[in-house]
Chains A and B, each alone.
Chain A
Amino acid sequence: MKWYAMVILSVIGFTVFAFDQESNTVIKLTIPQDNAEFRSFGATDLRNELVKNIALIGSGHENRAVIRKLRVELARRGDKEERDKLFSALKSPILAEQADALEDVAQLADREAVYHLAEMLSDPNPGGRITYVTQDGGIAKSGDCAVSPPRIAAALKLATLIEDPPVPPIGADKKFYTEEDVLTWRRWWETNKAKFLAIP
């Protein structure tokens, strides 16, 4: 039997426990603070604001950063449509979109987000110079801007989400991640996946 509870509210944010009674292990998630800008917004306000901003797309006056933040905020609040969009963007063949999705999903910082990030640990995509959608709707490739293989990016995100991670996050004692680190994370996931399977 698994249960799930928010227990600590601290200056840096929430900590969430995913607890498995059978194995008696606890996996803690560190959740970043919510977006102060949207604190006074209800879900309907957020949706209306999103619709308003999306309507500007194509005019040049749209603010894509706002659109992205609104989507993440809605997803954080459980909006299924936006959550599904984010999770499916993790599989986007357009590297820029996939990289954005990895960052956005990490901001959700809940069990389902961990599940989807951890599943990316087996993604064979090599990363590389980004492809992106141009303003006229075409696909172009950057000559100098690359993203790491999604499995490495996912491992790095997990290291910031999971307390006591199997590989420490980037810091003084860990300068960068390698494929070996990803393998360590995959082994961790194989051991702990069951705790995250019962997605609410």
Chain B
Amino acid sequence: MLTLEACGPYGSPGNLILGWDSSAVNIYTAPSGGTALTQFVTPFHGFNGTNLYVEGVVPGASMLSWVYSEQTNCVDHICITVVKDEFQRDGDCSGFDDTLNPPWLMVPVNATNTALVLIYPANAADYVNFLSRDTGTATVAPLTADTSPEIVYLTGVSHGDTTIQSRLSSLNYECAALNVAVKARIDKTIAIHAITEENDDVQVIPLGQGQPNQTCITSGTNGILNSVTNGDDVVVGSTITTGPNGICETSASGDDVQVITVGKGKANATCVTKGANSFRDTIPAGDDVVTGDDIHTGADGVCNTMANAINLVPTTCPTAAQLQSYLNDTIWGRQANVYFTVIRSDHTLNFDLDRDGKLDDPYEGPPGTPKVPLQWDEVNAVRTVRDTSVDYNIFYVGSYEYPIGLTDSPDVFTQGTAPGCNSVENHTAHEVGHLLGIRYESLDMKDVMYQAGLPANPCRVVKRDWDTVNPP
């Protein structure tokens, strides 16, 4: 409020003029504001003083002049400093939600979080005080700013919400506010598992070959073998056999009988068998056929199938220490006061029951292709190694069907990461958000709960998230 007065001989002529820089301040006749004045000119005669109300437009110093028109050297200069301050985050992903106005800060009970207060102009910092509306919930320090930006330390006393105000020391007026959510600590346990798909089939006949030493040609009615061997075919008595490669490479001559067609092997020989895990891991190729737990060469007698004996090892399973540190120090501990103990145990299983090299999603294949009925077999094969002593299990596999993972609380099934996406720790932190009860996705690319994996590894936790994962 600005009080204007003037005194001089009664009935003096001329006007009183208030001058100001309208780009720096607005002036109103009412405390509630309304339409800002464009000028203030009033006759000296009859002026008994008035109150005007000044609103800062841009921070900084400005000068008002109060002039008597008949004596322009009779002027009062009023120096005004427009002070602006605002709460800002003290670093990225610090439990500060600036999507809301006023912003919010998560503060742990019996611990401290920080925010910055930017004060303009900086030399007005000494005039700015800080006040907690409820010191039983949170306290603030320092009580008076000293510089800009000033770091304010908010200490949680008991769980609940309160507001920190910044005020000008000379006025009982709130310049800026920061809402504070004080959260009690929650502790959870996670077991992570690198799940290797075991493939141990045995190649009985080498790829491209047939069953060795099978009769390829026999002598005809003349009892004499007329044919001349070719390739690795071998004469055995009055017959020619396929030799070690199992392929008949010799054409019958004279009245010899071609038992196996040239270029082929003995039909339906065992080409691939299951290994020690008692499960056929291989898909037949060419004209090879599945017979029981084996793969046979089919009509051409040539083994066209390579036995699947290579385990599928997950490549992006974090260490327990890496994940625990990320969850606690960057995401859920730091920003929601939810802390994790992470342990890791790895397993080799035979979960790939349809032999597609992926852990199948129980609910759907590619987008828009729901599975009817649901297909739980592969997921349940993995669940057999669930650690039921912990709150949550996270299973990392070499490849997940769609898209890269699924959270179906209390489990996560994932391949960990994908090219062009976020880190395995960041992806896992997102899934942990779902485990903790977040049943929505964010549309803001800064948020850890953003709907897709971004290489920037978004890490912000906002109020909606911390309220969900750390309810009262």
Contact = CB atoms under 8 A, between A and B. Distances in A.
Nearest to A37: B472
A60 B463 contact: yes
Contact of A66 (B380, B404, B471): B471
A50 to B, nearest CB: 13
B439 A100 contact: yes
Contact of B468 (A65, A144, A148, A171): A65
B363 interface: yes
Contacts of A64: 464, 467-468
A143 B463 CA distance: 22
A176 B471 contact: no
Interface in A60-78: 60-61, 63-66, 68-69
Interface in A23-74: 37, 60-61, 63-66, 68-69
A144 B434 contact: yes
A69 B388 contact: no
B439 A144 contact: no
B454 to A, nearest CB: 13
A146 B441 contact: no
Nearest to A99: B439
Interface in B61-87: none
Interface in A103-152: 126-130, 132, 134, 140, 142-149
Interface string A138-179: 001011111111000000000000000000001110111010
B374 A149 contact: yes
Nearest to A133: B440
Interface in B384-418: 384, 386, 388-389, 403-409
How many of chain B's residues touch chain A, expressed as a range? 35 or more
Which one of B100, B384, B431, B471 has the greatest number of beta carbons of chain A within 10 Å? B471
A145 B439 contact: yes
Given A100-B439, A132-B440, A175-B386, A143 B364 contact: no
A96 interface: yes
A128 B404 CA distance: 15
A143 B99 CA distance: 24
Contacts of A69: 471-472
Contact of A175 (B374, B384, B406, B467): B384
Contact of B441 (A126, A140, A147, A149): A140
A129 B363 contact: yes
Given A60-B100, A130-B439, A143 B388 contact: no
B405 A127 contact: no
Given A66-B471, A132-B440, A170-B388, A126 B363 contact: yes
Given A99-B439, A146-B408, A147-B408, A178 B380 contact: yes
A147 B406 CA distance: 10
Contacts of B384: 175
A83 to B, nearest CB: 20
A126 B388 contact: no
Interface of B, secondary structure class, is loop
Contact of B440 (A60, A128, A142): A142
Interface residues of A, number: 36
Which one of B407, B431, B439, B472 has the greatest number of beta carbons of chain A within 10 Å? B439
B386 A176 contact: yes
B360 to A, nearest CB: 13
A128 B370 contact: yes
Contact of A143 (B383, B409, B439, B452): B452
Contacts of B404: 144
A148 B388 contact: no
A145 B441 contact: yes
Contacts of A148: 408
Contacts of A65: 467-468, 471-472
A142 B374 contact: no
B376 interface: yes
Given A60-B99, A100-B439, A178-B380, A144 B405 contact: yes
Contacts of B451: 142-143
A127 B363 contact: yes
Contacts of A144: 403-407, 430-431, 434
B179 interface: yes
A77 to B, nearest CB: 17
B448 to A, nearest CB: 13
Interface string A165-200: 000001110111010000000000000000000000
Given A64-B464, A126-B370, A149-B374, A175 B472 contact: no
A175 B382 CA distance: 10
A130 B438 CA distance: 11
A148 B379 CA distance: 12
Nearest to B411: A176
B374 A126 contact: yes
A178 B383 CA distance: 11
B388 A172 contact: yes
A143 B467 contact: no
Contacts of B100: 60-61
Given A143-B452, A144-B405, A144-B431, 20 more contacts: A61-B104, A64-B468, A65-B472, A69-B471, A69-B472, A96-B440, A127-B363, A129-B406, A132-B440, A132-B441, A134-B440, A134-B443, A142-B441, A144-B406, A144-B407, A145-B406, A145-B434, A147-B409, A147-B439, A174-B388
Interface of A: 37, 60-61, 63-66, 68-69, 95-96, 99-100, 126-130, 132, 134, 140, 142-149, 170-172, 174-176, 178
